[in-house]
Amino acid sequence: MFSGALIGPLLGAMLAIVLLGLLWAAPGLLLDSIVQGASWLRDHESTDARLGATIVIVALVALSFVAVWSRATSPNRPVRLPGGRGTIAVSQVAAWLSDALEARADIRQAVVRVERASGGIRVGARIAVTSDARQQETTEGACTIIERLVESSVGVTLTEPPSIDLRYEELVLRPHRAIDDLHD
Averaged over 2-29, what is the pLDDT? 74
Helix (H, G, I), strand (E, B) or coil at 168: strand
Segment 128-173, tens digit of pLDDT: 998 888 999 999 999 999 999 988 888 888 999 999 999 886 655 5
Q: Where are the domains of the chain?
A: 4-72, 79-168
Task: Select from 64, 56, 60, 62 the least CA-distant residue to 9.
Answer: 64
| CATH superfamily, region 79-168 | Cation efflux protein, cytoplasmic domain (3.30.70.1350)
Of residues 22 and 176, more confidence is placed in 22
Q: In angstroms, rounded to a whole number, what is the distance separating the alpha carbons of residues 119 and 33? A: 49
pTM: 0.56
Predicted local confidence at residue 48, as pLDDT: 80
Kindly report, residue by residue over 42-87, the tens digit of the pLDDT. Answer: 887 788 877 887 888 888 888 877 777 766 556 667 777 777 778 8
pLDDT of residue 163: 93
Mean pLDDT of all residues belonging to the chain: 80
Q: Identify the pLDDT of residue 172.
A: 52
Alpha carbon distances (Å) from 7 to 11, 13, 152, 161, 184: 6, 10, 36, 34, 50
Give the per-residue pLDDT at 160.
92
One-character DSSP codes across 96-156: HHHHHHHTSTTEEEEEEEEEEETTEEEEEEEEEE-TT--HHHHHHHHHHHHHHIIIIII--
